[in-house]
Structure 1
Amino acid sequence: MSPPSRIGALVAAQRRAERLRLRIAAAAAAAVTVAAVGLLGLSGWFITGAALAGLGGLAAVQAFNYLMPSAVIRLLAILRTGARYAERVAGHEAALRALARLRPQLFAALASGSPGRALALSSGEASARLVQDVNAVQTLFVRLSAPWGALAGAAAAIGLTALANATAALLLALCMGASAAGSLLLARRLSDPAGRAAQIAVGSLKTRLSALESAAPELRAYGLETWAVEDCADRARDLDRSRITLTLAAGWLTVWQTAAAAGAVVLVTLAVVSAPAPLAALAILAALMGMDSTAGLASALHQNGAAAQAADRLDALAASPSKTGAEQAAPSSDTVALLGRSVSPPFRLAVVGASGVGKTTALERLIGLRDAPAGRFSLGGVDAADLDPARRRALFAYAAQDVRLMDASVRDNLGLAGAFDDETLWEALDDADLGDRFRRDPKGLDAPIGPDGARLSGGERRRLALARAYLRSAPWLVLDEPTEGLDAATEARVLAALDRRLSSRGQGLILVSHRLAPTDLCDAVVRLADERSALALGQGGQPVGLFDPQLVQ
C-alpha cells in the first residue's frame, strides 16, 4: 500500500482554509454559465418573435411585449459579466493565498527533512519544484469551479431546450454526456502523458541551466560556451516537443468539442422542427451555449497531467521520514562522541588527514547534513542515527568548506543565522577580520556582494561565512578549512579572534584543516585514516595510540 500523499494533505488543508472563496468561485461559475445560456437562448427567442411580430402587421407589433425580454437580456448580460469577475477574483485569490502558504511549508519540509533527499536535489531542480510545480498545483484550486459551471450550464440548456421539445432536451443531455466522456478519454490518453512530460522537461532544463550557470567561469576558461549553449538547446528542444504534443492534445480536445457541439445542434434542430419558431430558436441556441459550457471542464481535464506530475514531484519533496520513539528524544547534554572521543564544550578538537579520507563527510554526518550510520556518533548519549536531523543541527554552528552565499547584501547573508542588531553584526565581521573591509564601503552592511559572493575575493567569501557561523548560538562551532586561501597575516588575526571568541563564550570547537596554525588552537588532534578509524596525535604531531573514549570526559 502506497504511503499517503503529503502534498495532497497540504492541498486539502488549504482548500479547507479557502473554503469560502472557493464556494464563491463555484457559485459565480454556475451563475456565468446559466446567464450565458439564458442570454443566448432568450436572445434567439426574442429576435425570432420580434421578426414574426413584424411580419404579422401593426396589430401584432403593438401586442408584442419587447420591454420585458430586453430588460431580462440586459440583466443576464450584466450578471454574466459580474459573475465572471467574481469567479476569477475569488478563485485566483484562493489559489494565490493557498500557494503563498504552501511554498514556505514545502521549503521547510525540504530544509528539515531527510538530508539524503535534500542533498540529492540540485539547486535548479529545487527551484523548479518550488516555483514551476507549485504554479502547476494552482490549477487544483482554480479549476474547482469548472465542474459546477459545466453542470449549471448543462442544466440550464436542457431546461430551456425542454420548453420546445422533450425529445430535444433528451438528445442534448446525451450529447453533453458523450462530449464529457470523450473529453475525459482524450485527456487521459493524450493530455495527461504530454502534461507530465512537459513538467519533467521544465525541471530538467532548469536543473541544467543552474548547473551550467554555476560553472560559467570554467566554461569560459576552456572555451566551452558553444557546447553549453547547444546542451541547453537540446533540453529546450525536449521541452518544446513536449509542449507541442500538449498543444496538439488541446487541439484534439477542441476538435472533439466542436464536433460534439455541431452534432448536438443538428439533433436538436431536427427534434424541434415542428415547434413554434421562437421556441425552436431558443432551443437551438441554448443547446449551442450549453455545449460550450463544457469547454471549461475540458480545459481543466487538459491540465490534469501537468498538475498530477507536479503533485507527485512535490510529494517526493515534502515526504516526511518516518519517526520512531527514539527520534522524539532530545540529547540530554552537549557531549559529542565521535572518532573514539567523548568531548563537551569548551573542548576543542581538530580533525586532520589526507584529502579524500572523509573528514568533511564525517562532520556532515555528525551535524545532520547527511544521514548518520548507526553506532558511529552520539549526541548527549543518544545515537545520532536515532535523532531527527533538525535536533542534531541545533547543537552546531557550521562554516562549510564549500561556501554558499546569496546574491544579496552583507546584512542579508549574515541574517541567515538569525535576527541581530548592527552592533552584533559588526562584532562578528570584526572577529572574521572583515569589519574594516565593509566599513570602507559606502553602503556598509547593506553592500551587495553579487551572485554567490562574486564581488568578494575567495578569502573574503570564506570569512563572511565564518562571521555567519559566529552569529549562530550553539554549543559547538564546527569549522571546515576556515583559513584556506588566507595569507599568513590574515590567518593569524582570524585565529587570534577565534581563540578570544571561543574563550569568552565557552563554546566548543570541532575543526577540520590541512593547515598547522588552526590546529594549534585545539586541545587534541585526531588524524583520520578513513571514516571509521582515528589516531591520536600528541605534541609535535607524534602518534600516541588509538583514542579511548574514557580519556576525555
Structure 2
Amino acid sequence: MFRQLLPYLRLMTPWAWLLGLGIALQLMALASSIGLMALSGWFLSASALAGLSVATAHAFNYLLPSAGVRFFALSRTGTRYAERLVTHDATFRLLSKLRRHVYERLEPLSPAQLQRHGESELMTRMTADIDALDGLYLRVLAPSIVALLGIVVCGVVIGVFAPAIGMFAALALLISGLLGPWLAWRAGWAHSDAWQQDNTRLRARLLERLNGLSELMIYNRWQGEVDHLIKGEHARDQHEYRLARQWGSSQLLSQTLLGLTLTGVLGMASWAVTQHGMNATLVALMGLAVMGAFEAIALLPQAWQHLGRIQRAAARLDDVRSRVPETDFPDKSEQQTPEGARLCLERLSVRLDGSVAALTSLSLDVEEGEHLLILGPSGSGKTTLFNSLVRFVSPDEGAITLGGAPLNRLDEATLRAQFSVAQQETHLFTASYRDNLTMGRAIEEDEIMAVLKALGLDGWLAHQPDGLAGFPDERGSSLSGGQLRRFGIARALLRQAPIVLLDEPTEGLDEATEQRVWDTIRKRCQGRTLIVITHRLTQIEQFDRIAMLDEGSLVEHDTPERLLADPDSRLATLYQRIDPELAGLMRPA
C-alpha cells in the first residue's frame, strides 16, 4: 500500500541531516512543552501547599522553579521557530528536487508520448500532485516520529518519580497514538484518494477549457462547461465534507482517549500519594505532562487521514516516472557521423499506438540540396513522416539514413543540428522576440531584420514598443495567425542547418503574402535540402520533385513536369479537377 511512497522517501537521502535536525528541533519543542506544563503544574501545587503556613512559605524556594518555567517557555518558542525554518527549508528543497526529478523523466519522452497525457494533465501533475507530496515529511513522517519519541519523553518524566505510572502513561499514549491515526487512515483513505483524483481532474479540465475559452464562447458552450465544473466541484467537496466529519469523530476519539489516559494517571498518582507516601505536588505534574505529550498525538489523525491524497499523487507521478522513452539515443561507442545530407527512407512503416498504420512500407530518397514537396490529403501520413525524420516517433519497420548513417545511430545533438524545422503551430516562449528567433544562438541583428523584412514582418515589429527586445503575450496572442506562422518560418530559416523541414508553411496566408514567403524560402534555402509538407497545389513547379502520399503509402514521385505530363498521375488528375486550363498550360509541349 505504501510502496509508491518509497521512491520519494529515497529522494530525502541527500538532506537526511537536515530532516533529522528538523525532527530533533520538533522533539526539543515538544519536550520543552511537556517540561513547561509539568513544571508549572508542580510549581502551582507546591506553591499552594507552601502557602498553608508562614514557615513553609518562607522556606519555599520559588526562584529555581520560576527560572525553570522561563527556560522551558523560551526554549519552546525558540525551538519551534527554528523547527519551522528547518522543516520548511527541507520541504522546499525536497519539492525542488522532486520537480527536477519529474521533469528529467519527462524531458526524454517524445512529443507523441507527452501528447497522450495532454498539456493540462501534465501541468497538474507537475504542480498539484507534487505540492501534495510536501505533506509526506512535514505533516506525516516528522510528526509521527516526534510523537513516538514524545511518548518516551513523557514516560521518562513521570517514571522518574513513579516507574509504574510512567509505564502506564507511555503505554496509554502509545495506544492513542497508534489507534487514532490508523482508524483515521482506514476511514479516510478512500475519500482522501477520491478527493485528490477529483481535484486533479478539475484542475486539468479547467486549464484545458481556459485554453479553448474563445471557441467555447463563440459556440455558446462556456456556461455548460461552468456548470460541469461546478458539478465536479460539488462532488469533490462531498469527499471533503465526509473527511471533515471523520475529523470531528477522530477528535472525539482523541479527547476520549486523553480523558481515559489522564483519569488513569491521576488515579494511580492519587493512590501512590495515599498508599505509598508520594509527594502530592507530583499529581499535577504527571497530569499536565500527559496533556503536554498528547499535544503531538492529537494532530496525527488528520495527517494520516489525508495520506490517501499523498499516495494518489505519488501514484500519478510514478506513472510519469515509469515511462520509458520511445526514442533512445545511442551511447558514444555506437554513435556515427553523417557524411553529407542525403536522406534515404527504406520500407518505412509506422503504427501509431501500436495498431493504427500511419505509414506503410514507404521508400524514398532525397538528394543533398534537393527541394522536395510532399503532397497528400489530411491523414495521408505527411505529419508522421515529418515526425519520423526528426525522431519524434520511431518506425516499427524499415530504416532512415542521413549521409549514410542510420538516423538512430546519431546522438541527439548531431541529429538536431541537421534539421531546421517549422511546424504547423508555432510556440512562443516567455522570452524576448530576439531569443524566440535565435533560440540561444548568436545571430547578428542585421540578419534577423533581413529575414523579418523578407517575410513582411518588419511592419509588425515596428509597432512593438521595444522591438526585438519586447516580449510576446501568452501563446503569442500579440501576433495574428499569419504573423505567427511567418515568425516560425523566420526562426527556421535563421538556423543554418543543412536540411529545412516546413509543415504547411503558407496555410492561411493571402496570395500576395504567400508568394512573398515562397520567394524568401527559396532564396534562403539555396544549397540546402528543403522538404515541404502541404496539401496545397501551389508553387509546385518550383520544386525539384514531388512525392504524393495517400493512406500512408507513397503513390507517386517524380518531377512536377513529368507528373503533370502523365494524364494518369494523381497530380495531373488533381490539377484537372481544380483548373483544367491551368493544367493544360503546365504540361510540357
Q: TM-score range by the shorter chain?
A: 0.7 to 0.9
Matches within 5 A, 1:425-464: 425-426=448-449, 429-430=452-453, 432-464=455-487
Classify the secondary structure of the residue corresponding to 1:113.
Answer: coil
Identical pairs, percent: 30
* 2:378 aligned residue (355, 359, 368): 355
- Which has the higher mean CA deviation after the structures are superposed, 536-545 or 288-297? 536-545
Specify whether residues 172 and 434 from structure 1 end up closer, same or farther in structure 2 by C-alpha distance, changes over 3 A only: same
* 1:280 aligned residue (268, 278, 283): 283
Q: How many residues align?
A: 538
Verify the 8 A CA contact 2:184 2:302 in the aligned structure 1. Answer: no
Letter in 2 for 1:71: A
Specify whether residues 269 and 69 from structure 1 end up closer, same or farther in structure 2 by C-alpha distance, changes over 3 A only: same
Which sections of structure 2, spanning at least 5 residues, go unmatched?
Answer: 274-278, 346-361, 571-589
Specify whether residues 419 and 316 from structure 1 end up closer, same or farther in structure 2 by C-alpha distance, changes over 3 A only: farther
Letter in 2 for 1:313: R
Matches within 5 A, 1:117-266: 117-143=113-139, 144-266=141-263
Specify whether residues 427 and 255 from structure 1 end up closer, same or farther in structure 2 by C-alpha distance, changes over 3 A only: farther
Verify the 8 A CA contact 1:195 1:242 in the aligned structure 2. Answer: yes
Specify whether residues 528 and 10 from structure 1 end up closer, same or farther in structure 2 by C-alpha distance, changes over 3 A only: farther
* 1:12 aligned residue (10, 13, 31): 10
Distance 1:66 1:518 in 2: 101
Classify the secondary structure of the residue corresponding to 2:513.
Answer: helix
Matches within 5 A, 1:321-340: 321=324, 327-328=330-331, 329-330=334-335, 332-333=337-338, 334-338=341-345, 339-340=362-363
* 1:69 aligned residue (38, 41, 65): 65
Q: Give 1:347 deviation, angstroms.
A: 3.1
Specify whether residues 145 and 433 from structure 1 end up closer, same or farther in structure 2 by C-alpha distance, changes over 3 A only: same
Larger radius of gyration: 2
* 1:522 aligned residue (543, 554, 563): 543
Letter in 2 for 1:119: Q
The answer to whether 1:465 aligns with 2:488 is yes
Structure-2 residue corresponding to 1:106: 102
- Which has the higher mean CA deviation after the structures are superposed, 520-529 or 340-349? 340-349
Q: Give 1:445 deviation, angstroms.
A: 2.2
Distance 1:366 1:238 in 2: 46
1:151-172 CA deviation, whole Å, 9 max, x = no partner? 3321221112224433322222
Matches within 5 A, 1:45-60: 45-55=42-52, 57-60=53-56
Distance 1:288 1:436 in 2: 75
Verify the 8 A CA contact 2:493 2:521 in the aligned structure 1. Answer: no
Specify whether residues 212 and 287 from structure 1 end up closer, same or farther in structure 2 by C-alpha distance, changes over 3 A only: same
Structure-2 residue corresponding to 1:41: 38
Structure-1 residue corresponding to 2:525: 502
Letter in 2 for 1:93: D
Q: Which has the higher contact order (CA 8 A, sep 6+)?
A: 1
Q: Could you state the TM-score of these two structures normalised by the residue count of structure 1? A: 0.88
Distance 1:526 1:355 in 2: 15
- Which has the higher mean CA deviation after the structures are superposed, 459-468 or 236-245? 236-245
Which sections of structure 1, spanning at least 5 residues, go unmatched?
Answer: 547-553
Verify the 8 A CA contact 2:177 2:297 in the aligned structure 1. Answer: yes
The answer to whether 1:303 aligns with 2:300 is no
Q: Give 1:340 deviation, angstroms.
A: 1.3
Letter in 1 for 2:162: N
Letter in 2 for 1:489: A
Structure-2 residue corresponding to 1:31: 28
Q: Could you state the TM-score of these two structures normalised by the residue count of structure 2? A: 0.83
Classify the secondary structure of the residue corresponding to 1:484.
Answer: coil
Verify the 8 A CA contact 1:103 1:134 in the aligned structure 2. Answer: yes
1:385-439 CA deviation, whole Å, 9 max, x = no partner? 7889898656433322134445665346446x33546726545534543233213
Letter in 1 for 2:284: A
Classify the secondary structure of the residue corresponding to 2:281.
Answer: helix
Structure-2 residue corresponding to 1:290: 293
* 2:322 aligned residue (300, 309, 319): 319
Verify the 8 A CA contact 1:418 1:471 in the aligned structure 2. Answer: no
Verify the 8 A CA contact 1:368 1:390 in the aligned structure 2. Answer: no
Letter in 1 for 2:489: L
Classify the secondary structure of the residue corresponding to 1:349.
Answer: strand
Verify the 8 A CA contact 1:31 1:149 in the aligned structure 2. Answer: no
* 2:500 aligned residue (477, 491, 502): 477
Q: Give 1:149 deviation, angstroms.
A: 1.8
1:312-361 CA deviation, whole Å, 9 max, x = no partner? 11122222417999854445425533341233543332211112222113
Q: Give 1:257 deviation, angstroms.
A: 2.1
Specify whether residues 247 and 364 from structure 1 end up closer, same or farther in structure 2 by C-alpha distance, changes over 3 A only: farther
Distance 1:421 1:74 in 2: 68
Specify whether residues 151 and 428 from structure 1 end up closer, same or farther in structure 2 by C-alpha distance, changes over 3 A only: farther
Specify whether residues 180 and 422 from structure 1 end up closer, same or farther in structure 2 by C-alpha distance, changes over 3 A only: farther
Specify whether residues 471 and 137 from structure 1 end up closer, same or farther in structure 2 by C-alpha distance, changes over 3 A only: farther
